[in-house]
């Protein structure tokens, strides 16, 4: 077969995997951020000739878009592993929803309770069944973070 011409079998073997999916998402988010940056960040002009408040976010978003685009271009012919089973994705979705619910409920139940519950449920979800690591450790870490934030850093936590 001539170089540059693909067979139908090679084309059928190509799969979009998790790497391409995540990179495409990063590219879309970076581009959306670039296009909406001027409406999201207010700049007060004091006559300075230097970079304004949009400079560094614009730089970071442009570099992220560039790197994501280059990664997609460079690996466009690579075979990737499939996305995975529905069971694995349901566990991931549960973890994302759990963290979102904990953040939304944090003002109602407090930081300590929401962080401890999330830590306990996520350790169980990830397969930890020892009581000391699945219950005690998240409780201790949540208490230490709460105590440190309030006492050492003087940060008000919900």
| pLDDT tens for each residue of 102-128 | 989 998 999 999 999 999 998 988 888
Backbone φ, ψ for residue 50 (5° rounding): -80, -175
CA distances from 107 to 67, 102, 143 (A): 38, 9, 17
Asked if residue 11 has pLDDT above 80, the reply is no
> Which residue do the tokens 């495409």 mark?
24
The per-residue pLDDT for 84 is 72
- The HSE-up count of residue 39 (CA atoms within 13 Å, CB side) is 4
Using the predicted structure, report yes or no on whether residue 2 has a pLDDT greater than 60. no
Residues written for the chain: 158
- Model pLDDT, residue 87: 75
3-state secondary structure of 48: coil
Are 85 and 61 within 8 A, CB to CB? no
Q: How far apart are CA 21 and CA 12, in angstroms?
A: 18
Read off the pTM.
0.52
* CA separation for the pair 5, 97 (Å, rounded): 45
**Cβ-based burial of 37 (10 A; exposed 0-12, middle 13-18, buried ≥19):** middle
Q: What is the DSSP-derived secondary structure letter of residue 77?
A: T
């Amino acid at each position: 077969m001539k170089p540059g011409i693909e067979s139908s079998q090679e084309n059928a073997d190509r799969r979009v995997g998790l790497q391409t999916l995540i990179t495409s998402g990063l590219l879309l988010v970076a581009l959306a951020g670039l296009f909406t940056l001027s409406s999201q960040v207010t700049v007060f002009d004091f006559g300075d000739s230097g970079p304004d408040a949009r400079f560094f976010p614009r730089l970071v978003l442009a570099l992220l878009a560039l790197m994501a685009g280059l990664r997609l271009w460079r690996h466009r012919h690579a075979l990737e592993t499939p996305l995975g089973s529905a069971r694995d994705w349901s566990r991931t979705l549960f973890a994302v929803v759990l963290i979102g619910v904990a953040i939304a409920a944090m003002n109602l139940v407090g930081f300590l309770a929401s962080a401890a519950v999330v830590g306990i449920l996520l350790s169980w979800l990830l397969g930890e069944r020892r009581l000391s690591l699945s219950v005690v450790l998240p409780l201790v870490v949540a208490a230490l973070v709460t105590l440190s934030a309030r006492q050492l850093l003087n940060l008000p936590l919900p």
